[in-house]
Each structure stands twice: as C-alpha cells, then as structure tokens.
Structure 1
Amino acid sequence: MAPQLPKALFLDLDDTILADSDPGDDCWFAVYQEFTDHLTGISYQKFLAVIHERRNWFWSDFTRGRRGRLDLPVARRQMATEALQQLGITDNPLDGPLAHEMERVYSRERDQRSQLFPGALETLHWLREQGRPLALLTNGAAKAQRKKIEKWSLAPFFDCIVVEGEFGTGKPDERVYLHALNRLGVQPEETWMVGDNLEWDVAAPQWLGITGIWVDRTGAGVPHTHRVRPHRIIQTLADLRIKG
C-alpha cells in the first residue's frame, strides 16, 4: 500500500540526504598520515581521541557552533590548534601553520569522500513524482552548502532552498520554517519536516504544528532523557516510501 504523504515536505541536507559526518574519522586518519613527522610518539588513537575531545567541546555551545558552521575552515583550524597544544606539539598558539595545513588536508578529504546516502536520490525523484512541493532547509555557510547542492545537482528537486548563511539565520529559528511555509503556500499541519537533528528537525517544527520525522540512522532510538518525541522515526530517507 502506498504511504500517506503530506501536502509538502521540508528536508534537511547533512546526515539526511548527504552522508556528511560519516567520513570524519577517515579524514582525520588522512591528516594523521600526512603529518606523521610532526606527530612523533603519538598514536593515531591518541590523536583521534584528542581531536574528538576538542570537537565535542567546540560544538557543545550553540553560539560557538553557529559561528563555526558559518566558517568551517576557521573552526577546524581552532580545533586542530587546540589539539596540537593538548598533545604538547609546538605550533603558533594563534592558529599556526601546522593547524592551517591540517585543516587544508581535512577539508580536501571531506570534499572527496562526501556521498549521498543510498536511496536518497531515488527518494527525491519519487517525491517529485508524487507532486509534493519540497523545501531544503540546511544550516551552514552559503558557499559550503551551495557547493554540496551543486555537486549533487539537488537544486531542481526543491521549490525552496533555505541556507543559513544566505538567509541570515538557521534552524531552529522559527523564521526558517515560517519562510518555507510561505514560499510553498502550505500550512504547518499540511507539512512534514524530515531530518536527523532532534531539536532542529523535530522539536522546533513541532512547536509550530509541523509533523517532525526523525532520521535515526543508528536505530538507537530517542535517548531516554530526551524530551522530544518525533511523530515518526525512520532510518533512511527511503523509508518515506514505506507506509508508516
């Protein structure tokens, strides 16, 4: 039986359509290999553990995270600089040349390794065939997000694209969802928001009356301590084609 679909859908990009986080550790491994001479006596496991620690600290603060999303090279250089300091490696404490080179290699690897999730493109085609207007709501810098959209030729699928760096604010600011509703000419109760972030793609839209569909790729479920309760949980975008 065909699934029941809403009048319109809002879709997230990173980690919903595009596998954005998956290659992260592989990219840091490439960095480690390229700069082994500077990391004498430090195992990859130790290097990665410190990188994770600095990364988790950086993204734990909403304001700092938003600043980082809008200038990822600077954010990554800061993480690399702090990791090097923690590992006892001498580099200019204010964003030195080694941190710059590490960021360059990491960003190159991320660009090369980014991939669409299996079934994502087919699902976008299918949604268009159903005649449903679509909006893409993505946080991040304008140049970086547009580069992803262009690389995978995603723009033709969407009637509205809202990029944080272009719009001036991003999810979970209610203005993002309200703008997309207005552009598509639909009401909140006629719309689904689909994405992997419980706060941005579920809680905030639900507050406006939009149905929140959570993409739980690991299948771990909503953490017991989390207050958000999605209307529906799927593991891949392709699950939208299955009656829920």
Structure 2
Amino acid sequence: MHPLRAVILDLDDTLFDDTACTHAGLAALAAEHGVQHWTSERLFARHAEHIRAIDPLLFRGEVDAHGARLLRMTRLLTDLGVPNPDGEAATRTYRTAYRAAWTLLDGAVDLLSGLRSRGLRTAVLTNYVREVQQEKLIHFGLDKLIDVTLCIEDMPAPKPDIRAYHAACTALGVVPAEAVMIGDSWENDVEGARRAGLRAVWVNRHNRPAPGPAVPQVRHLNAAGALIV
C-alpha cells in the first residue's frame, strides 16, 4: 500500500453542519408565514427536492447563487400555499437565520490542525459553487488549514465522477493511492472515491447501516484522525 500523503474532505455535513443551519433557516421561514401544516422533516425534504432541481441551472451558469435562492424560496412558498410569494423577502429571512446558525461539526478544526501537523496535504472537494463555499471556509478560518479547495467550477465533473477525485489529487500533487477521502455521503465520498482509487472514511453521524462493503467509519470527526494511517 502506498504511504498516505493527502486527505481530501467534503465540506457540507462533514466539516460544516449544513443540515442544522438549513433547519434553522426553514424554521424562520415557516414561522414568518405561520406555516403549521408541514412538519420540519417534510419541509426539509421538499427544500432538498428544489435544491436538486435548481442546482443544474446554477452549475450551467443560468442563474447565480442568489438567483438560485430566489427561485428555491419562491417555489417552496408556493408549495406551502403562500399567496403571491415574495422570493426576495423569503430569501432574506431564510439566509439571515441560516447564517446565524452557522457552526462547524465538533472536531473539524482539531482534525485539520492535526493533519497539518503530521505533514499531510489537505483539500476540500465540494459539489457546490465557490461563491458560497469559500465564504464558509473563510468565516471559520478553515481556509488557513486547507491547501486546496475545489468547488464545482474547478472540476471536470462533480462527485461521484472519478475525475473529481483525480482533479483533487492532481492539485495536491499526489496519486490516488496516496490519498483518502472523508465525507458523509456514501455515494459521493465513499463509493466514488474508492472507484477513483482512493481510500475512504465515512462520516456516519447517524449510525446508518453501510449500503455497501465496509469501510472505516466514524460518528464524530474527533475519531477520524486515528483512522487516517
């Protein structure tokens, strides 16, 4: 086995608690409009459906990040039965609460600092736009602990396409066998990485059964460092 030289990490729900922040933003939106007939889980799921539908427009450059939010909020309010939905106002409400709830997952800074102290190269590989993701990294000072950040604009194709992981390895100056991918998505951060020739560590915060062959897994980032050998 090749010696490990680099660690590639997902961002949302791996280092940054995007799920909690999204719930906070949606709760603020629901409260503002007096929405009581949808559970928070249903609201979260419908919001995620709109993200999946709108993201291709964003990635093709047909809308920018703000335009994608406007469209998402307008569609969501329509689903909720809000008459004459004001996407701009809804975006402000959602975004204010979302940002106020920004937090890293426990162990994120310690993990990155520990990897750096071991002389390992680090990268963030994320299937979202740089305008949004870089803001998070800078806000928490993670940009100073990461050697390379690859967002959707920097990849020939998004995860789980093997070219995404190979692009990260090239940027880090390593071959795939010298790198490990850490992330919460089985498809994007485990299966895709392994197909590309990398090792993988699954961040399984909710202790879900593995959908495929076993890989090292952690519920908390504090335990990840010990698995990276």
Instruction: Check whether TM > 0.5.
Output: yes
Ranges in structure 1 where 5+ consecutive residues have no aligned partner = none
Matched, 1:221 2:213: no
Q: Counterpart in 1 of 2:57?
A: 67
Among 6, 15, 22, the residue aligned to 2:4: 6
Matched, 1:89 2:82: yes
CA distance in 2, matches of 1:237, 1:197: 14
**Aligned residues, how many?**
223
One-letter amino acid matched to 2:217: I
One-letter amino acid matched to 1:233: Q
One-letter amino acid matched to 2:67: V
**Is the CA contact 2:216–2:227 (under 8 Å) kept in the aligned structure 1?**
no
CA distance in 2, matches of 1:82, 1:186: 43
| Within-5 A mapping of 1:24-173 | 24-33=22-31, 35-36=32-33, 39=34, 42-43=35-36, 45-46=37-38, 48=40, 51-59=43-51, 64-67=54-57, 71-91=64-84, 96=85, 98-167=86-155, 169-173=157-161
Percent identity over the alignment is 25
Q: Report the TM-score, using the length of structure 2 for normalisation.
A: 0.84
One-letter amino acid matched to 2:93: V
Matched, 1:186 2:170: no
Deviation at 1:183, TM superposition (A): 2.3
Q: Deviations over 1:29-58 (max 9, x none)?
A: 22233x34xx4xx42x52746633532433
**Is the CA contact 1:16–1:236 (under 8 Å) kept in the aligned structure 2?**
no
Deviation at 1:72, TM superposition (A): 4.5
Q: Deviations over 1:5-39 (max 9, x none)?
A: 82211111111111111122222222233x34xx4
**Is the CA contact 2:155–2:163 (under 8 Å) kept in the aligned structure 1?**
no
Larger Rg: 1
Matched, 1:233 2:217: yes
One-letter amino acid matched to 1:28: L
Taking only aligned residues, the RMSD between alpha carbons, in angstroms, comes to: 2.6
Deviation at 1:74, TM superposition (A): 3.4
Deviation at 1:68, TM superposition (A): 5.1
Q: Deviations over 1:92-129 (max 9, x none)?
A: xxxx5x22211111112111211111111011111111
| Residue aligned with 2:19, SS | coil
Label 1:85 to 1:181 Cα distance change in 2 as closer, same or farther (>3 A): closer
CA distance in 2, matches of 1:129, 1:65: 37
Q: Report the TM-score, using the length of structure 1 for normalisation.
A: 0.79
Deviation at 1:145, TM superposition (A): 0.8
